[in-house]
Chains A and B, each alone.
Chain A
């Protein structure tokens, strides 16, 4: 467990400042992260980036032949669970995979 003094120190080693980091940058990861979490983060980042850059948004809407507002809405809608719900048997699954790959 991190000591009281380590909690707010960003410069100490990775394992100690995770909470702090996570609170500022939601997309950061940690060694125990599952593939699903990582991919979810990637998707959210991609969507946010596309929505945030207006030219990218218009480009995509042109490609989809949709109004930019609609594309934007659809994308924001997908922010919630871009990769679907987390796999249920995640733990056993991970264990099995880890076991199989070494």
Chain B
């Protein structure tokens, strides 16, 4: 007993090793001791054996982690690998009925397994109890272990018991003595000590549950005992040879559907094998040591090498043939594939193998093999036959060819891996790419495709088509035709041999040849698909693009099935990386769009692959998956989607249900909720399975998440759909329903309370009835429903729910706390809740439970608490809340101080400090100063934004409070100033930086309080700090100085700008962006306000420095620089600055040139255009393309900035623009178009139409440009001119080409016509042309009236006859005199309309 207890209390030694934390801690405690060192080594080696990489976490943190998807999936997401891609569906889509049947079998299987597990647990419990009572005293001490986790010792115990006790254990009489273990079910009779030891060893190595079986009388005795037994696979082979075999069983192997139904007619796949075992001379010592359980289907004493195990043992009990072990073949094929990620691949593999490896029944064998009527006999194996089971013998055994081509028997010796198996590119790319023959690949593709991307060895199985040698042979046309001829010859020979006529022989030959040809075409197609996919997956961008286009364009020709046969396994592959998946998903998207309704048979398999992406960690993967599923839904239709997903709705696996629910929600969003409603109603009302109801509610929830506010029209229906689930029997369904209601209420806020009427009562009842997670769900729902209510009801509801909320204030559960805070915030924010109620019954408990140090540890928690507190403050007032928290500003925990500061900042920003009395004000300032003095590291610009925000919390709070206090802050100013001064001289750069930052922020407040003396003093202190060596700090000092200078004014600044600026000029050369930006802003400020205080020479020096800054990487710096040029030019006159800038147009660097042009434009704006335009125009004469373009660009910006001032300069620049528009260089013309656009927009309505029309005539010929930038520039110019000249003028130009014979011309003209129409349709109506009716349409009466009216209008019309000819000559033939080209006025037109 003592041993027993010890065994239970003592932690398992292996557990200790597995726990790195404790080991490390212990190792750290005795760094020098040998034991510790040894332990470390042990641990490292243990990790190495487990395949655990100790540096993985570190690598991941560095962002250099493996990009393979499987490596970063969590356990939940990895469940997708268990989903079955349903191999049978590849050949033939299964019917709905079949799938439903499968689902029900699967469910039953789970149920049975669950019962077994439950029973086992119960039995173990009773056994343990019995042992504890000492009922079985004579059992050896090895039985002491009762933990099912240490299966080795239990197994040993079981075997030992079997040895020790000779009584038949199956009998009812001995049940009391027998320890009811699963592996004892059949009674371990006759097991030798060796067998037991082997069993123990096997169990040790695998830790799977295993079955000790005998074929002996014990087994049948047990079966007859009437005890409820698990129908063991082993139980029905009653071979009268006593032996014991130990076979391990994979975790997923129990195949209740298949083999749990033993019957005389059905021959279990196990029976042949195990009877072999029974005949084994070594008496059941055939323990398997191999690790890979998928191989265990073959009960041979294997060493784990799959190829060896695959050898079938010939002449089994059936006497006809040994069942080959396809699993081993698959294993061989997949060995390479599994190399990378063995465990995941293995589990999936087991699933597949189990599916394919169903036992062959006698009937099937009868069909396959010749029977008695053909003179064959099923013979029993000779009694003395013993198969050779020793491994060495097996090696020599001849493989038996069995089965046909479909299930190749025998083993296959793998050839030496070829070079390409190792990822070495195929020789010259010949094998694969040249397979894309000329007729299948567009010209140019073959050449570009000469180099396929490398195939990684672990994904070779996906690209079998490319590695297949027959594909190579297909290449050679001669060889291929030879092969066809051969096939034809063979067929002919066969027929002739069989005595067929020559005609029949010819026919057979032709068929054979055609078949060979067809196969060749199929192989080619496969190669094409596989190589394209490979290019898309791992090719370079150009390859990828071409292959993607190829796949998209030829999708329908290639066919849905072959495409998906390649694509889907690739998407499921373990070796896939993120970017590869993205590309493949893209292929899927395009292909779906092309295939359209052809995808319908493949919906299920596509969903199997794509649906798991809906729960992916990556946002973009989720979005892509959503898009694909919605496209799929649109292509395949609702019926197909629903039928496909129906069986998964009550799947026992949570993962499958989750993805199914999300997919269905996407379908609902794509096809409309009303279409889904009947189905949803049925699912939510399912009586058969609570899982279905649960999924139904989840679908509703996901719909609300996906649709957002557009769910509003369906809220009533959706709520009605799930309302009854709120009172479901199952807790999970109830909480899911509550969550769905919360989602719906959130989405429909602030409308739709009527829809929730039927669920209000159950919701409130639910709150009182539930605890834990379910309560959280209900509270969440209520929290979201309350804001929808009327004030009165909301107040009532809040009072109702408040006690529960308050009870949960103290919850230790993070989720619950979040929900409570959210619900509280929503309750508090509703209109009907008044301050008195909150003060009385909520505030105390709220602050007591949430304003604690530990709340500050988690960022999300912090913000939830702060938000809720702010909501409370908005109701009860600022001072009430501040009163409770300001003293915590002096808390010793920094995170907590920050949390308080954030809250103070938030509340003061929202509500101001009007109701803060002087005492509270003092406490607040005291606390803030304390927090400021004792804060930690400052934010550097290299820190992440989040860290920066975090570090600036105190500063933000400080400045917010000061700004809010305004003049009231005066008493504290001297304290603040001395604090700043003191800290500016501290040794710690952080302190200096914080002080400078604070100074920058409080300077305006200081001005408001009238402390000018303090400000001046601070200015001089800051000036002395300009020698600062830390760039971060220097940047802050410059910022502070700028702030002081701006509030103080340049004249009052001490020392004056004349002294400061020379110090700044060298600082402009600093490389730090923060310094540059603050410095240029300070310089700009001085140039703006105090330029006259500095000498011109100094300004020119600054100008030269500024040119450098035009290259700065940060836009804000460049903008500030450009503005500064404007100020300086204003101060010292434009000439000198302009020369500097114009010279800068000659430099090579584009950014610098562009910025110079902007600066020139700004100079022109500040110093009047006439000071700049002449210089610019003369600069245009420089025959240098950069300079000319620069001038044009400068003009463009210039006219943009000066707007209507431009009217004075239009005539001046027109010749220049004309020249540019007729230049050969496209950039000239493009920039000139931009100039015209800006001119036209600036001077509309200023009477410069003549110049603009002139310019339009120069712009117009450029409309046929194909370059995108150029074309859009031209169109924009035309748009600008439309604004300036009126739409009718442009319409006259456009009408010329609408019916041009050339499509290319018409395209452009119609595009412009549509633009005109878009922007000024109404304006155009008076100017629509008169288009004569063709004679066929014009009836007699109309003709008469036309003649009459036409005579009347002709005089007026003649005046306006435009130069534009509308109709082609041929159309005028039958026209009367009316058919002049006339621009009719609306009045006339209203009559003329009758004509048409």
List residues of A whose CB falls within 8 A of some B CB: 3-4, 13-15, 21, 25, 27-31, 33, 35-36, 38-39, 42-43, 45-47, 49-50, 52, 56, 59-60, 63, 78, 82-84, 87, 89, 93, 97-98, 100-102
Per the bound structure, the CA–CA distance linking A60 and B1389 in Å amounts to: 11
Contacts of B1318 in A (CB 8 A): 25, 28
Q: A4-B590, A38-B1331 are in contact. Are A56 and B1310 (CB under 8 A)?
A: no
Contacts of B1387 in A (CB 8 A): 59-60, 63
Q: A25-B1314, A42-B1328, A63-B1387 are in contact. Are A35 and B1299 (CB under 8 A)?
A: yes
Per the bound structure, the CA–CA distance linking A27 and B1328 in Å amounts to: 13
Contacts of A89 in B (CB 8 A): 1336
CB of A89 to closest CB in B, whole Å: 8
Per the bound structure, the CA–CA distance linking A83 and B1386 in Å amounts to: 17
Contacts of B1314 in A (CB 8 A): 14, 21, 25, 28-29
Per the bound structure, the CA–CA distance linking A30 and B1314 in Å amounts to: 8
A15 touches B1331 (CB 8 A): no
Per the bound structure, the CA–CA distance linking A4 and B1317 in Å amounts to: 27
- Determine which residue in B1328, B1369, B1396 has the highest number of CB atoms from chain A within 10 A of its CB, and name it: B1396
Contacts of B1313 in A (CB 8 A): 28-29
By beta carbon, the residue of chain A nearest B1390 is A60
Contacts of A101 in B (CB 8 A): 1301, 1368-1370
CB-CB contacts of B581-594 with A at 8 A, as 1s and 0s?
Answer: 00000000110010
- B1393 close to chain A: CB less than 8 A: yes
Per the bound structure, the CA–CA distance linking A25 and B593 in Å amounts to: 26
List residues of B whose CB falls within 8 A of some A CB: 552, 589-590, 593, 631, 1298-1299, 1301, 1303, 1306-1307, 1310-1311, 1313-1314, 1317-1318, 1321-1322, 1324-1325, 1328, 1331, 1333-1334, 1336-1337, 1368-1371, 1386-1387, 1389-1390, 1393, 1396
B1333 touches A83 (CB 8 A): yes
B1371 touches A50 (CB 8 A): no
- Quick one: which of B589, B1337, B1371 contacts A97, CB cutoff 8 A? B1371
Contacts of A43 in B (CB 8 A): 1393, 1396
Q: A25-B1318, A38-B1331 are in contact. Are A46 and B1389 (CB under 8 A)?
A: yes
Per the bound structure, the CA–CA distance linking A13 and B1389 in Å amounts to: 34
Per the bound structure, the CA–CA distance linking A30 and B1310 in Å amounts to: 6
Contacts of B1368 in A (CB 8 A): 97, 101
By beta carbon, the residue of chain B nearest A75 is B1390
B1331 touches A35 (CB 8 A): yes
Contacts of B590 in A (CB 8 A): 3-4
Per the bound structure, the CA–CA distance linking A92 and B1057 in Å amounts to: 84
A56 touches B1386 (CB 8 A): yes
Per the bound structure, the CA–CA distance linking A14 and B1318 in Å amounts to: 13
Per the bound structure, the CA–CA distance linking A60 and B593 in Å amounts to: 52
By beta carbon, the residue of chain A nearest B1367 is A35
B1369 touches A45 (CB 8 A): no
Contacts of B1386 in A (CB 8 A): 46, 50, 56
- Quick one: which of B631, B1310, B1322, B1328 contacts A31, CB cutoff 8 A? B1310
Per the bound structure, the CA–CA distance linking A36 and B1387 in Å amounts to: 22
Contacts of A52 in B (CB 8 A): 1322
Per the bound structure, the CA–CA distance linking A4 and B635 in Å amounts to: 13
CB of A99 to closest CB in B, whole Å: 10
B1396 touches A39 (CB 8 A): yes
Contacts of B1321 in A (CB 8 A): 25, 27, 45
B1390 touches A83 (CB 8 A): no
The 8 closest A-B pairs by CB, nearest first: A83-B1396, A31-B1306, A49-B1325, A14-B1311, A42-B1328, A28-B1314, A4-B593, A46-B1325
Per the bound structure, the CA–CA distance linking A87 and B1335 in Å amounts to: 10
By beta carbon, the residue of chain B nearest A15 is B1307
By beta carbon, the residue of chain A nearest B1308 is A14
By beta carbon, the residue of chain A nearest B1393 is A43
Contacts of A29 in B (CB 8 A): 1298, 1310, 1313-1314, 1317
CB of B1322 to closest CB in A, whole Å: 5
CB of B1266 to closest CB in A, whole Å: 10
Per the bound structure, the CA–CA distance linking A47 and B1337 in Å amounts to: 20
Per the bound structure, the CA–CA distance linking A75 and B55 in Å amounts to: 81
Contacts of A45 in B (CB 8 A): 1321-1322, 1324-1325, 1328
- Quick one: which of A3, A15, A38, A50 contacts B1390, CB cutoff 8 A? A50
Interface pairs (24), CB distance under 8 Å: A14-B1311, A15-B1307, A27-B1321, A28-B1313, A28-B1314, A29-B1310, A29-B1313, A31-B1306, A33-B1298, A38-B1298, A39-B1396, A42-B1325, A42-B1331, A43-B1393, A45-B1322, A46-B1325, A46-B1328, A60-B1390, A63-B1387, A78-B1393, A84-B1337, A87-B1337, A89-B1336, A93-B1336
Per the bound structure, the CA–CA distance linking A18 and B1256 in Å amounts to: 27
B1337 touches A83 (CB 8 A): yes
CB of A9 to closest CB in B, whole Å: 13
Contacts of B1301 in A (CB 8 A): 98, 101-102
Per the bound structure, the CA–CA distance linking A36 and B1333 in Å amounts to: 8
Per the bound structure, the CA–CA distance linking A60 and B1328 in Å amounts to: 18
Contacts of B1298 in A (CB 8 A): 29, 33, 38
Per the bound structure, the CA–CA distance linking A5 and B450 in Å amounts to: 30
A31 touches B1396 (CB 8 A): no
By beta carbon, the residue of chain B nearest A27 is B1317
Contacts of B1369 in A (CB 8 A): 101
Contacts of B1336 in A (CB 8 A): 87, 89, 93
Per the bound structure, the CA–CA distance linking A56 and B1390 in Å amounts to: 11
CB of B718 to closest CB in A, whole Å: 28
By beta carbon, the residue of chain B nearest A52 is B1322
CB of A59 to closest CB in B, whole Å: 7
Per the bound structure, the CA–CA distance linking A33 and B1333 in Å amounts to: 16
Contacts of A59 in B (CB 8 A): 1387
Q: A4-B589, A46-B1325, A101-B1369 are in contact. Are A31 and B1307 (CB under 8 A)?
A: yes
By beta carbon, the residue of chain B nearest A46 is B1325
Given A35-B1331, A50-B1325, A101-B1368, 18 more A-B residue pairs with CB atoms under 8 Å apart are A3-B593, A4-B631, A13-B1311, A25-B1314, A25-B1318, A28-B1318, A29-B1298, A31-B1306, A35-B1299, A46-B1390, A50-B1390, A59-B1387, A78-B1393, A87-B1337, A89-B1336, A97-B1370, A100-B1370, A101-B1369
CB of B1186 to closest CB in A, whole Å: 30
Per the bound structure, the CA–CA distance linking A5 and B1321 in Å amounts to: 29
By beta carbon, the residue of chain B nearest A31 is B1306
Per the bound structure, the CA–CA distance linking A25 and B1310 in Å amounts to: 14
CB of A98 to closest CB in B, whole Å: 7
Contacts of A50 in B (CB 8 A): 1325, 1386, 1390
- Quick one: which of B589, B1328, B1334 contacts A87, CB cutoff 8 A? B1334
Contacts of B552 in A (CB 8 A): 3
Q: A45-B1328, A50-B1386 are in contact. Are A14 and B1310 (CB under 8 A)?
A: yes
CB of B1341 to closest CB in A, whole Å: 12
CB of A23 to closest CB in B, whole Å: 13
B1306 touches A25 (CB 8 A): no
Q: A38-B1298, A39-B1331, A45-B1325 are in contact. Are A33 and B1310 (CB under 8 A)?
A: yes
By beta carbon, the residue of chain B nearest A102 is B1301
- Quick one: which of A3, A33, A84, A98 contacts B1396, CB cutoff 8 A? A84
- Determine which residue in B1314, B1369, B1389 has the highest number of CB atoms from chain A within 10 A of its CB, and name it: B1314
Contacts of A28 in B (CB 8 A): 1313-1314, 1317-1318
CB of A34 to closest CB in B, whole Å: 9
Per the bound structure, the CA–CA distance linking A43 and B1318 in Å amounts to: 17
By beta carbon, the residue of chain A nearest B1342 is A84
CB of B1294 to closest CB in A, whole Å: 11
Contacts of B1325 in A (CB 8 A): 42, 45-46, 49-50
By beta carbon, the residue of chain A nearest B1339 is A84
Per the bound structure, the CA–CA distance linking A50 and B1337 in Å amounts to: 25
By beta carbon, the residue of chain B nearest A40 is B1396
Per the bound structure, the CA–CA distance linking A97 and B1333 in Å amounts to: 14
Per the bound structure, the CA–CA distance linking A102 and B1303 in Å amounts to: 13
